[in-house]
Amino acid sequence: MPKVLVVDDDAHIRSVLSFALGRDGFTVVEAADGAAALAAVTRETPYLLLLDVMMPECDGTEVCRRLRAAGNAVPVIFLSSRDEEVDRILGLELGGDDYVTKPFSPREVVARVRAVLRRHAPAPAAKDPVLHRGALSIDAARFEARWNGAAVALTVTEFAILRAMAARPGQVFTRDALMDIAYPDRRVVSDRTLDSHVRHIRAKFAALGAEPIGTVHGLGYRFVE
C-alpha cells in the first residue's frame, strides 16, 4: 500500500493521523523532527510526506527545501497552525503540493493525501507516452520532465500544469482553467497560489536557460515552444 511519512513533533497528532491513514489502507511511518524526517525519506522512500512546519532539529520548510534541492520530488503536504496566506504561499514556493492548517479533520487530511497521490499517479500507457515539444520532453508514465536531456525536478502540481500546457502549445490557459488542472478535487485556491506554481516552474527552467511559459497579460499563461 502507498506509504506516507507523518512528520510532527506532537506525538498526539502523529498518532491521530497514523490511525486515520492506517484505517484507510495506507502504510504509515512516523518521524518526530526534521532531521529524522530526512533520514526516513532516504530509508523508507515514502510516496508522500505530511510535514509539520514548526519543528525542532530542522523545521518543515527546511526539510522541503533540502529535498527539492536534492532533486527529490516526493509530494509534500504541509501541516501548520498558521493560516496566513503568506505562509501558504511560502510553502508552495518551496515546492509543497498542499497546505493544511491546524486544527484539522483527520478525514480531510486523508482526502487531501488521496487527491495529491491521484495527481501523482502515472497516466495510462499510451502508444507514445512521451510528449515532445522542442527541447522539452515529458514522460507521464515515468513522471519525468527533461530539457535538452537534463532532468527538471517538478512537484506533482507543477508537473500537471506544465504537461497540460505543453499538450496544447500556444493555447491560452486562464488561471481558473489551470486551477482546475492543478486541483481536480475542486478546492478553492487563490490566484496567488496558482501564480506561485507557475513562478516555480519558470525558475526551474530558467536555471537551464529556458523559458517555456509565457504570460498573456489580463488572460493567463501559455506554453511557448
Residue 32: band (very low, low, confident or very high) from pLDDT cuts 50, 70, 90:
very high
What's the mean per-residue pLDDT of the chain? 86
* Segment 62-100, tens digit of pLDDT: 999 899 888 888 999 999 887 666 566 767 777 788 888
Q: Tell me the C-alpha to C-alpha distance, in Å, between residue 163 and each of 80, 167, 213.
A: 30, 6, 11
**Domain-wise residue ranges, the chain:** 3-120, 130-223
Superfamily holding 3-120: Response regulator (3.40.50.2300)
Q: Decide if 208 contacts 150 (C-beta within 8 A).
A: yes
Coil, strand, or helix at residue 124?
coil
Q: Return the pLDDT at 40.
A: 94
Tell whether domain 130-223 is in CATH 3.40.1080.10. Answer: no
| Per-residue pLDDT tens over the stretch 153-199 | 998 888 989 998 998 888 888 887 888 777 766 555 566 777 888 99
Residue type present at position 160: A
Torsion angles phi and psi, residue 4, rounded to 5: -115, 130
The C-alpha atoms of residue 104 and residue 62 are separated, in whole angstroms, by 23
Mean pLDDT of 141-145: 86
Question: In angstroms, rounded to a whole number, what is the distance separating the alpha carbons of residues 103 and 106?
Answer: 9
